[in-house]
Amino acid sequence: MNIESLVTLLSVAAVLITFLFGFMERRSSDRRQRTLEFLLKVIEGEGPIHEAHVKFAGWARQARVFENDELLEEEDNIVIKLLDYYDLVADTAFRGVIDKNMIVLHLGGRMKSTFDLLENYVHHRRIRLRRKGLYLPLETFVRKHVQGRSV
């Protein structure tokens, strides 16, 4: 192999590395953009998740305690909407569909405080429904990525 072949090979390798780096960066940037759009549409827009956030925030301000999973039907529906939403967000972040760091930054505090208030509710619901994995992605996400961070 002569010097010209080596230079050509290194040039091609540099172009490929630059292309791959750019591709990965664009992909990451697109994921962050999709995540932000998703969060804004669901949380800030009118709809059942937004309404559930508002109701639950009122309960949190009142220092409501959720000792088990026996709530009034309307309250149970609100709690389930929030937990289902956060569980879906956690699962899609784990799968890399949406950006985990953006979720932690913009939704992590809500996810953590909601799960902290509802941990006993979730525990009782798992027992009653005999579903050990119920809301496990949410619990794992909060413990692994949000716990101990200032969000």
Ordered per-residue pLDDT tens for the chain, 151 residues: 688 877 777 776 666 677 666 666 676 677 777 777 777 676 666 788 888 988 999 998 998 888 888 899 999 999 999 999 999 999 989 998 888 988 998 889 999 999 999 999 999 999 999 999 999 999 999 999 998 877 6
pTM, 2 dp: 0.76
Distance CA 135, CA 138 (A): 5
